[in-house]
Structure 1
Amino acid sequence: MLSFLIRRLGGAVLVLAIVAVLVFLLTRLASGDPVALLLGDQATAADIAAARVQYGLDQPLFTQFVLWIGQVLRGNLGQSIFLQMPVLHALAERAEPTAFLALFSVAIAAGIGVPCGMAAAVWRGSRGDQIVSTVAMLGASIPSFWFGLILIQVFAVHLGWFPASGYGDPGAPMGDRVQHLLLPSIVLGVLNSALVIRFTRASVLDILGEDYVRTARAKGLAESVVLIKHVLRNALVPIVTVLGLTLALMIGGTVVTETVFNLPGVGNLVVRAVLRRDYPVIQGTLLVIAAIYVFINLAIDLLYTVVDPRIRLGGSS
């Protein structure tokens, strides 16, 4: 186990180093000058030059990169050019809606995808299997922004059951904020459940053909006991994998949904930073998202030993 952790942590550091280099280079290659955007059309060339010196943008790219990496290693992601605050502070202010949105969405995706995938596998080849598979394929094809707008029109505008956008007032109770997150969570949860259905169906189909499942049925065990205790439990490894990866992707991929529902989350922060060419925010946010993605993958590997005790990481017994 220890050797496995050392290898994976070493790989995580390498991945994050590559991400840091790519993010830094890509932000600098993009057209547009953040200082010119910040100061506006009325700024003189002298004003722009002075601001570039203030933010260190007058130095060679290699020097800028070394200085930025030095800050990152000290736990400092830099200072936002437009927000005039540390990037970590800006991320902390916007982390809550994104984190809750991702967690609620994965819960909805699992609540829909796992039972439907199991039902499709048990009913293999039947009309029910075809319906579930068709719905899953349709769900994977629907654009999230279109689905979000439809839900807003029906449940927020016509029925008035949910808020159409926003995250509530700054001092709003948690229940009010959860209400603002329900519609966007349903959007992401329903659409991502399509992938969970497909993985669950395939995994359960593999287990249904095993000898121990036939033996359990031959012993006269109830079908629900066979499906939950013997089938689902042994099919959990790929299901846990897809749910973990879905969570990681949602944390970094809620940009469209947050924009449609005007949520002040990390995705909204990234969109504004890209439009403003706010280099520190873009670099810091993408690096943090990459770190979360890497360590969620590590957590999934560790969770395998809990889901299936037969798995031993790193080849140890």
Structure 2
Amino acid sequence: MAVSMHDVARAAGVSQRTVSNVVNNYEHVRPETRQRVLDAMAMLGYVPNAAARSLRSARTGLIALVVPDFRARIFADLADPVVREAGALGYTVLIELTESDREHELQVLTGGRNQLTDGAIMMAMTLRPDDGQRRRADYPIVLMGDQVLEGQVCHVGIPNREASLAVARHLVDTGRRRLMLLGYDPDGGLTARMRARGFLEGVAQAGLSADETLLVRADWTREGGRQAIERHLGSGLPMPDAIFAMNDSIALGALRALQARGVRVPKEVALVGFDDVEEAGYSTPSLTSVSPDVESMAANAVAMLHEQITGKPSGRKPHIMVDFHLKVRESSQ
């Protein structure tokens, strides 16, 4: 015979209403009572009826994490704390990939793809400020990244310009004077433009000129970084004495190409990436990288979404910029 809520209440020594409050994750249950109910549920093997609970609350307990892809490791690194933070609030996270397709991102923004979820956290790459006017007002959503939309669209971002300025200053302070920007894309998304802007500001502040031959385009992948450095080394153009790769994937590909050609890092060329993916600390040499506070990004984004879903605002600002740290490792020392 299936275990009922009445059975759980009797085993825990509480009312059925208290069991219902615990199952529905209501806040006003004493911690010791909540734990007693959870222990009884586990002992009896009680599984709440998710469908019935969803109908009563008009919620599914599901939220979407929408990212471009997992080719860039930063998106996977961000998913882990989002899942943990959401789980602590009783949500299950569904992952959705957009492949940076504008129509796909617009469908998420307008709620057209999200009938089964209570809200979405999206890392958007193609949205424009005025797209905020198209947001479906009754669908909770939080954006992560650089783009801030018009209207009431909550946002958590990384200070890409300031972080890239810090990279340029670090390289100049170590005596480097011929600085390459690898992954340069003046017509690309806002992230690419903000990182380039900060880096070039740092170059200018140091009294250096930006050599156009050192503004090197590359796909933001390991293979893109490897191929771009191979082309540059084979072109006969002067070598840089430092490279800022726009993300760690590009940097790791560049490192491979430099080592294959016998170029010593950092003695001949310093190398810095962005995102501080796990591999950065294990490459040889270990990779200096900008480390954005992804834990804070995830915590703020989930909390913002939860406030929209529950209708319980906390006074949190609608636009939050997290901190960063430049982790200096062997590749630029």
| TM band (smaller chain) | under 0.3
By relative contact order (CA 8 Å, sep 6+), the higher-ranking structure is 1
**TM-score (structure 1 length as normaliser):** 0.26
Task: Please report the TM-score for the alignment, with normalisation by the length of structure 2.
Answer: 0.25
Q: 1 or 2, which has the higher helix percentage?
A: 1
Q: Hey, which of these two has a bigger chunk of strand by percent?
A: 2
